[in-house]
């Protein structure tokens, strides 16, 4: 574990004074310009070091510095050459600026500002472009990372830039301003945030352009998330961007590039029955940081407690006939069972008992070893492996972890969940990308359960196979696909394809892209027609995103075990040269390049070493873990949050009665949020693995009745379990309809179980149940 803190001493002034961010969103792509204002208030020259996060998939494409009226635009160079130039410049008294990416994690960057003279100001600007991820509710998520947690680095590993992260207690000593401009061909419905925003201002009457600003007072104690809602977000689209006429003829930047956004729509018959088979492996972070709260409200749950509630829902939602196991990991790892076991009542009860006993007591965050152990277990025939990984994502060997996942990509799907502020976007999104799954982030006052159950819905979708992409273009025009082959498709989820267009007949002609695949052994075709004439000036955003995609693929190929043997050292050097060449031509950062800028007009002899000041990054709350000293600071809010995005946190009676709900005293003490007190979890906890409920006092208590009331009203034609299960369904569809995403599979199992009992007409039973519970649902709405 990295020992974090202000290593230069708490009384030394921090040279970074403010950060100003301008975001321009075009449909589902964002261009972000961040300007950092540095001031040297000391009596001798300084070198300022700032280690900070960026989105994992960002393409950094510009770096410049302005001192007075003079602007220095940095150039991309081979990283080692850039570092040498930086050191030489600083040692000779020249002002120099260096921006480099961590070799261990692509979402961590280091900015070095060398030889900042006494009293001098410097404005450093970084520009990057990034895609916006599609959420389960069809919103587009933009995240400005403001929190960078210390990364746990396994013993013996080279932490690199990661080891230079320094944290601050309380709010960071610099301010943030943020403005957002949104434009889209589709009307903007609304914009939500986890932070306080000024009112949204529409610039056009058709609502296709709008601006919004972050309200003053943000304290850098959480990431800034924006959620954009467009009308018809899920419609397929294509953007063709013109190349640069002066670029080399054989380069990516010379020709037009097309970005295709596809939203596969599976035939209804292919989705009519969700998979009842599979091996579900839940991997839960139990490091000390999981004992922190989910957010900063008074009623916030601890992360580990929210995770335990989520595991309860997952275990109750699994289909009969599948296999499952649960792992906990920290500095070590353990599993509930030696290998995955068949899902039945006995194994589910054993697992739930162990879930109750789970604590955040396993030290640091070492995820590589449990993953390696899971992959060493043979897959179960006819039961595709589905991996669910929950972590607050603070690791230093991110690329090593992702390479392991990719090497087993054909044997499983991986669904990842980043919990709390500062989770590594590179780790969370990378796990899902390399494991052909889906990534979710749970931050602020969002509840974990709805997002996890959405991912379970994806996991239960039939696995798509034999995916192919075909292009139909005018004569003498070809498309060279840049994106890696598509390994996974999910119903309604966006898939991006980048391709380079070559040829001379690129006028107003039309082309099309066709995606073919098999769903439940049935062939399916999705097609999109588009105009191949380049659109208006887009600032080379598409080219740079395409270049970043190619660079990441080449970097991963370079890390492949096949490229680490001495006999292919020459091939490895050639691959590295290719990465550097592409990075420099496209102006996009890579692990082998860095931005270097030198002010050669300023030269002042420096006697002795420069004073070094590390700019602290807010790193959440820390605590002592496994003997490693990490400062723990209180979390603060910069102002009231807007209404929570996820619905369903209704106030309801306390469920702390141990006898009725079988909850331990420790669990009750650690609950406290409305979500934990809600009656939904107690009701779900009473369901059997088969999908039914028993007619007993515990169920009656949840439904607000006595056991005699339930028994006396039971229709004669049904037995107690059928009646109890009907009542549970009626209650869910009436009183927790807005939380249906959480209990959808619980209800599906219940309806299937009732149907299997072959009871006669149930309409009268539903009517009696409605009267008893004060509801008005129909038999058909219950799915029976």
**Do 681 and 608 share a structural domain?**
no
Give the Cα separation of 48 and 63 in Å (integer).
16
Answer yes or no: is 514 within a domain.
Answer: no
**Do 750 and 680 share a structural domain?**
yes
Which among 436, 459, 482 is the end of a domain? Answer: 459
Give the Cα separation of 519 and 419 in Å (integer).
33
Answer yes or no: is 178 within a domain.
Answer: yes
Contact assessment for residue 589 and residue 251, using Cβ atoms and an 8 Å cutoff: no
Number of domains in the chain: 3
Of the pLDDT bands very low, low, confident and very high (cuts 50, 70, 90), residue 161 is: low
Nearest residue to 692 (alpha-carbon basis) of 723, 663, 659, 725: 725
Q: Is the pTM of this model over 0.85?
A: no
Dihedral (C-alpha) 668, 672, 675, 680: value to the nearest 10 degrees?
Answer: 30
686-724 exposure pattern, b = at least 16 Cβ within 10 A, e = fewer: bbbbbbbbebeebbbbbbebeeeebeeebbeebeebbbb
Nearest residue to 118 (alpha-carbon basis) of 44, 17, 39, 15: 44
**pLDDT tens digits for 659-715?**
333 333 333 333 333 333 478 999 999 999 999 999 999 999 999 999 999 999 999
Answer yes or no: is 332 within a domain.
Answer: yes
**Do 111 and 44 share a structural domain?**
yes
**pLDDT tens digits for 239-280?**
999 999 899 887 899 999 999 998 887 876 656 555 568 999
**Do 207 and 115 share a structural domain?**
yes
Answer yes or no: is 676 within a domain.
Answer: yes
**Do 143 and 283 share a structural domain?**
no
Look at residue 649 in the predicted model and tell me its pLDDT. Answer: 29
Answer yes or no: is 556 within a domain.
Answer: no
DSSP one-letter string for 225-265 = EEEEEETTTTS-EEEEE---TTS-TTSTTTS-EEEEEE---
CB neighbourhood size of 140 (10 A)? 24
Higher pLDDT, 354 or 154: 354
Of the pLDDT bands very low, low, confident and very high (cuts 50, 70, 90), residue 420 is: confident
**pLDDT tens digits for 201-245?**
999 999 999 999 999 887 777 788 899 999 877 788 899 999 998
Answer yes or no: is 502 within a domain.
Answer: no
Among residues of the chain, what percentage have pLDDT more than 90?
A: 47
645 is written with which tokens? 């995005």
Q: Provide the CATH number for the domain around residue 284.
A: 3.40.50.410
Look at residue 687 in the predicted model and tell me its pLDDT. Answer: 97
Q: How much is the average pLDDT of 329-355?
A: 95
Higher pLDDT, 486 or 746: 746
Answer yes or no: is 402 within a domain.
Answer: yes
**Do 357 and 227 share a structural domain?**
no
Q: How much is the average pLDDT of 501-511?
A: 79
């Amino acid at each position: 574990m990295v020992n974090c803190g202000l290593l230069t001493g708490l009384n030394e002034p921090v040279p970074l004074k403010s950060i100003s961010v301008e975001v321009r969103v075009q449909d589902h792509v964002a261009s972000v310009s961040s300007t950092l204002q540095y001031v040297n208030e000391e009596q001798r020259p300084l070198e300022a070091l700032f280690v900070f996060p960026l989105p994992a998939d960002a393409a950094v494409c510009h770096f410049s510095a302005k001192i007075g009226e003079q602007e220095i635009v940095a150039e991309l160079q081979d990283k080692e050459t850039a570092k040498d130039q930086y050191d030489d410049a600083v040692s000779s008294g020249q002002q120099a600026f260096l921006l480099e990416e961590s070799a261990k994690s692509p979402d961590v960057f280091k900015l070095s500002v060398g030889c900042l003279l006494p009293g001098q100001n410097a404005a450093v600007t970084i520009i990057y472009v990034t895609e916006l991820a599609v959420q389960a509710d069809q919103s587009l998520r933009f995240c400005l990372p403001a929190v960078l947690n210390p990364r746990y680095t396994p013993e013996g590993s080279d932490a690199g830039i990661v080891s230079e992260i320094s944290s601050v207690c309380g709010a960071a000593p610099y301010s943030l301003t943020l403005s957002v401009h949104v434009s889209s061909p589709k009307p903007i419905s609304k914009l939500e945030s986890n932070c306080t925003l000024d009112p949204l201002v529409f610039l056009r009457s058709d609502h296709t352009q709008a601006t919004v600003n972050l309200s003053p007072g943000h304290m850098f104690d959480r990431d800034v998330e924006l959620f954009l809602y467009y009308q018809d977000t899920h419609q397929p689209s294509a953007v063709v961007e013109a190349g640069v006429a002066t670029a080399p003829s054989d380069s990516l930047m010379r020709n037009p590039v097309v970005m295709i956004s596809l939203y596969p729509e599976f035939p209804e018959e292919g989705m009519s029955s969700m998979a009842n088979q599979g091996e579900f492996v839940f991997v839960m972070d139990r490091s000390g940081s999981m004992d922190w709260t989910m957010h900063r409200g008074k009623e916030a749950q601890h992360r580990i407690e929210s995770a335990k509630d989520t595991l309860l829902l997952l275990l109750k939602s699994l289909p009969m006939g599948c296999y499952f196991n649960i792992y906990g990991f920290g500095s070590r790892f353990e599993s509930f069972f030696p290998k995955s076991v068949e899902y039945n009542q006995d194994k589910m009860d054993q697992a739930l008992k162990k879930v109750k006993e789970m604590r955040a007591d396993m030290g640091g965050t070492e995820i590589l070893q449990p993953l390696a152990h899971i992959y060493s277990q043979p897959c179960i025939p006819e039961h595709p492996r589905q991996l669910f990984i929950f972590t607050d994502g603070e690791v230093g060997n991110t690329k090593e972890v992702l390479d392991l996942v990719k090497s087993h990509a054909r044997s499983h799907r991986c669904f990842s969940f980043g919990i709390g502020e500062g989770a590594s976007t590179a780790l969370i999104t990378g796990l899902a990308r390399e494991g052909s799954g889906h990534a979710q982030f749970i931050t602020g006052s969002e509840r974990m359960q709805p997002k996890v159950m959405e991912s379970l819905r994806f996991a239960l979708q039939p696995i798509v196979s034999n995916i192919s992409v075909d292009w139909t273009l005018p004569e003498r025009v070809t498309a060279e696909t840049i994106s890696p082959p598509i390994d996974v498709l999910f119903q309604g989820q966006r898939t991006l394809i980048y391709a380079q267009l070559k040829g001379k007949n690129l006028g107003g002609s039309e082309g099309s892209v066709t995606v073919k695949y098999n769903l439940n052994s049935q062939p399916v075709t999705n097609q999109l027609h588009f105009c191949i004439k380049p659109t208006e000036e887009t600032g080379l955003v598409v080219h740079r995103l395409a270049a970043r995609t190619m660079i990441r693929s080449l970097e991963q190929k370079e890390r492949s075990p096949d490229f680490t043997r001495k006999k292919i050292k020459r091939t490895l050097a050639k691959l590295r040269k290719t990465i550097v060449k592409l990075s420099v031509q496209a102006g996009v950062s890579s692990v082998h390049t860095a931005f270097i800028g030198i002010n050669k007009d300023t030269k002042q002899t420096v006697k002795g070493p420069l004073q070094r000041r590390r700019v602290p990054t807010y790193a959440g709350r820390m605590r002592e873990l496994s003997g490693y000293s990490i400062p723990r600071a209180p979390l603060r809010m910069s102002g009231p949050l807007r209404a929570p995005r996820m619905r369903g946190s209704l106030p309801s009676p306390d469920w702390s009665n141990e006898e009725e709900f079988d909850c331990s005293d420790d669990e009750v003490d650690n609950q406290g949020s409305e979500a934990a007190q809600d009656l939904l979890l107690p009701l779900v906890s009473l369901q059997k693995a088969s999908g039914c409920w028993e007619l007993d006092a515990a169920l009656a208590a949840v439904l607000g009745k006595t056991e005699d009331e339930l028994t006396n009203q039971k229709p004669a034609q049904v037995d107690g379990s059928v009646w109890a299960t009907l009542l549970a369904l009626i209650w869910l569809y009436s009183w927790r309809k807005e939380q249906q995403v959480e209990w959808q599979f619980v209800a599906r199992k219940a309806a299937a179980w009732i149907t299997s009992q072959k009871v006669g007409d149930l309409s009268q039973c539903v009517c009696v149940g409605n009267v008893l519970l004060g509801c008005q649902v129909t038999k058909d709405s219950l799915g029976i």
